[in-house]
Amino acid sequence: MKQPFFYDITLRDGNQALKKPWELRDKKIIFEKLLELNVQAVEVGFPASSEMDFEACRELSLMAPNHLVVSGLARCVENDIVSAVNSIGEAKKPRIHVFLTLSPFHMKYVLNKDPKEARQTAIKAVKFAYDEIKKVNKEGEIQFSVEHFGDCGENLDFVIDTLKEIVQAGATTLNLPNTVERCRPGTFIKMVEKVRENIDDFVTISVHNHNDLGMATATTVESYFTGAVQLECALNGLGERAGNTNFYEVAVALHNSGVDVPVDLSKIYETALIVAQMSKVPIWEKAPLIGPDALAHRSGIHQDGALKTKDMEKGAYRPIHPSLIGRKDDEKMGITSQSGKTAIFEVISNAGYPITIQEAIRLQPIIKEAAEKVGELPTAKLLDIYFSETFNVKGDFKFRHLGYLDDGIFEIEFRYKNEEFKVKGEGNGPVDACINALNQSGFKVKLLHYEQNSPDTDLKGAGAVAQSEIHLEDETGNEVIGRARHESTAIANVKAIFNALNIMNKEKKNDK
Ligand code: KIV
Ligand code: ZN
């Protein structure tokens, strides 16, 4: 199978559909990006369309590296062809691209020519273009497009016979556009296949698919597997109406199918952002590969799979690893009412805060309830919930004061519901003493584990330097984690115990 030949049409079909077509300096920026992507051919414009486009096509042709095919569009009209030859003829590899419709509908209602006349017009134009380009550049070549090829199902034999004569007249590339996407991919590729079978092998078959029904990528990719080597695509899918075939989607789809794609895929994302900015056509949130939301997972099942395969080349719920196209932002976990514990865990720990999966399970219903009201929670809101439900847990217990008396004896003051407690507890430190004091007061808990560290992340207004994590077990064997921060390590420990007690109480209430 031949390597695909990427023929970019952003500067012509894409440009002609912009609300404000590009000037030379804009075209130069896009042209540089196309060179970085390593495309094989660029259609730089339609030189006869305006003085500005003529000049732009000329400048770009002179900038083009030796290996690049530079193409200019022309109708089957001598003036257009002369204009194209004059503007791009000095490129190392110039190509004059002439086009004419051969669809019965368009020949009759738009061109006002009968098929015989249309055929003669096309052949004559191709001969003329061939002679003109060869006069100025021996490397020059001719591409002919059957505009509305997708509408030629009923007269395909006529089209093929015409194309044979067009090849004799000098064309070496035959482009088959689905100019308006009326033809479904399966039908279109059968037509492409038939042309391929009937045309000499030295001729390159090309496809150019518009995206009116959103199937242009499928049609282009499948056309390649049926023998169309030249693929006409546009950056960001720019082009008339709903646009042309999206360059990135075709390149990545072929890459994923094991085809050796001769473009630098890692330049895709950066290029897409620049094209969006320059064209003023924003990238749709859900645009495949490049959309801001194209790497987001919001349902628990997808988040779980995505996180389990995060660093793998193949991911559970993505077509590529984002780095393939130069995306640095990676998969994003959106927290909504549909989200799962693993995503909650991931977002909080990525923000630099301590959390266990057990705590994420505990937070999930609280987060779900908040998200049901407002939709996706911004990370700041998620962290607010986490702080208040982990570091500052409101409940029946309220820690008031910790005092050191003497000889390992501490005095702990707290409130439980409406009752105030002032209890002395003995132990080898405030944690031990506090647990003893609680047990004496009738609150039976067992210390399973505790640790302290100095956090890297600030906790709103806490001005904290010590962070405690306490694991307590209640009488039924249920384990709960309490956390706290305070300038005093002793108070951080005791506060963590009371946060754990409030969590324990809430869980008991929920169980009832
Ligand atoms: O869509 C189309 O048919 C075209 C031709 C000029 C190739 O853009
Ligand atoms: Zn087009």
| CATH code for position 415 | 3.30.160.270
Residues 96, 231 within the same domain: yes
CA of 175 to the centre of ligand 1 (A): 9
Number of residues assigned to the chain: 512
| 396-426 pLDDT, tens digit each | 999 999 998 888 899 999 999 999 999 999 9
Query: In this structure, which ligand is nearest to the CA of 176?
Result: 1
| 298-313 pLDDT, tens digit each | 999 999 999 999 889 8
Q: Rounded CA gap, 480 and 503, in Å?
A: 7
For residue 398, the cross-strand partners are 415
Residues 10, 45 within the same domain: yes
Residues 115, 255 within the same domain: yes
Is residue 151 within 6 Å of ligand 1 at its C-beta?
no
| 365-399 pLDDT, tens digit each | 999 999 999 999 999 999 999 999 999 999 999 99
Residues 245, 353 within the same domain: no
The answer to the question of residue 25 being in a domain is yes
pLDDT confidence bin for 463, thresholds 50/70/90: low
Residues 334, 420 within the same domain: no
The answer to the question of residue 482 being in a domain is yes
pLDDT at 293 over 60: yes
pLDDT (average), residues 162-177: 98
Residues 163, 53 within the same domain: yes
CA of 237 to the centre of ligand 1 (A): 14
HSE-up (13 A, CA, CB side) for residue 6: 26
The answer to the question of residue 413 being in a domain is yes
Kindly state the tokens that stand for 24: 């030379």
CA of 22 to the centre of ligand 1 (A): 19
What one-character DSSP code corresponds to residue 322?
A: G
pLDDT above 70 covers a percentage of the chain that reads 98
Compute how many other C-beta atoms are within 10 angstroms of the C-beta atom of residue 79: 10
CA of 177 to the centre of ligand 1 (A): 6
| Helical segments of 257-293, H only | 268-279
CA of 209 to the centre of ligand 2 (A): 7
Contact 9, 239 (CB under 8 A): yes
The values of phi and psi at residue 324, to 5°, are: -55, -35
| 247-265 pLDDT, tens digit each | 999 999 999 999 999 999 9
pLDDT at 435 over 60: yes
pLDDT at 72 over 70: yes
Name the closest-CA residue to atom 7, ligand 1: 145
Q: Let me know if 109 is exposed, middle or buried by CB neighbors in 10 A (0-12, 13-18, 19+).
A: exposed
pLDDT (average), residues 92-103: 98
pLDDT (average), residues 126-148: 98
**Strand ranges (E), 179-264:** 204-209, 230-233
pLDDT given for residue 304 in this prediction: 94
The answer to the question of residue 255 being in a domain is yes
Is residue 147 within 6 Å of ligand 1 at its C-beta?
yes
Greatest CA separation for the chain: 112
Question: By C-alpha distance, which of 153, 5, 127 is closest to 71?
Answer: 5
pLDDT confidence bin for 460, thresholds 50/70/90: low
pLDDT at 136 over 70: yes
Residues 364, 219 within the same domain: no
Residues 106, 16 within the same domain: yes
pLDDT given for residue 465 in this prediction: 79
pLDDT given for residue 414 in this prediction: 97
| Mean predicted lDDT score pLDDT of the chain | 95
pLDDT given for residue 394 in this prediction: 96
What one-character DSSP code corresponds to residue 404?
A: E
Residues 365, 412 within the same domain: no
pLDDT given for residue 455 in this prediction: 78
By residue range, what is the domain housing residue 420?
A: 397-511
Cβ contacts of 178 within 8 Å, gap of 6 or more: 149, 150, 188, 207, 208, 209, 210, 216, 219
| 384: amino acid identity, one letter | D
The answer to the question of residue 412 being in a domain is yes
| Count of domains observed in the chain | 3
Contact 512, 411 (CB under 8 A): no
Residues 211, 302 within the same domain: no
Is residue 99 within 6 Å of ligand 1 at its C-beta?
yes
Element (H, E) at 468: strand 466-473
Q: Rounded CA gap, 179 and 244, in Å?
A: 9
pLDDT given for residue 328 in this prediction: 87
pLDDT at 12 over 60: yes
| 95: amino acid identity, one letter | R
The answer to the question of residue 285 being in a domain is no
Is residue 145 within 6 Å of ligand 1 at its C-beta?
yes
What one-character DSSP code corresponds to residue 4?
A: P
Axis crossing angle, helix 115-136 with helix 78-88, rounded to the nearest 10: 30
Residues 481, 346 within the same domain: no
Question: Which of 97, 99, 151 for mutating ligand 1's site (highest number of atoms within 8 Å of CB)?
Answer: 99
pLDDT given for residue 510 in this prediction: 76
Cα 202 to the chain's mean position, in Å?
38
Residues 108, 235 within the same domain: yes
pLDDT at 149 over 90: yes
The answer to the question of residue 156 being in a domain is yes
For residue 97, the cross-strand partners are 73, 143
HSE-up (13 A, CA, CB side) for residue 385: 22
pTM for the model stands at: 0.87
Cβ contacts of 176 within 8 Å, gap of 6 or more: 145, 146, 149, 191, 192, 195, 205, 206, 207, 208, 223, 228
pLDDT given for residue 87 in this prediction: 98
CA of 177 to the centre of ligand 2 (A): 7
Calculate the alpha carbon distances from 233 to 209, 238, 243, 385 in Å.
8, 9, 10, 47
Point out the domain boundary residue: 349, 378, 407.
378
The answer to the question of residue 270 being in a domain is no
Name the closest-CA residue to atom 8, ligand 1: 13
pLDDT at 330 over 70: yes
CB under 8 Å, gap of 24 or more: what pairs does 117-125 form? 119/158, 119/162, 119/165, 121/76, 122/76, 122/98, 122/162, 122/166, 123/162, 123/165, 123/166, 123/169, 124/76, 124/169, 125/74, 125/75, 125/76, 125/77, 125/78, 125/81, 125/98, 125/100
pLDDT given for residue 464 in this prediction: 55
Q: What CATH number does residue 241 fall under? A: 3.20.20.70
Is residue 177 within 6 Å of ligand 1 at its C-beta?
yes
Is residue 208 within 6 Å of ligand 1 at its C-beta?
yes
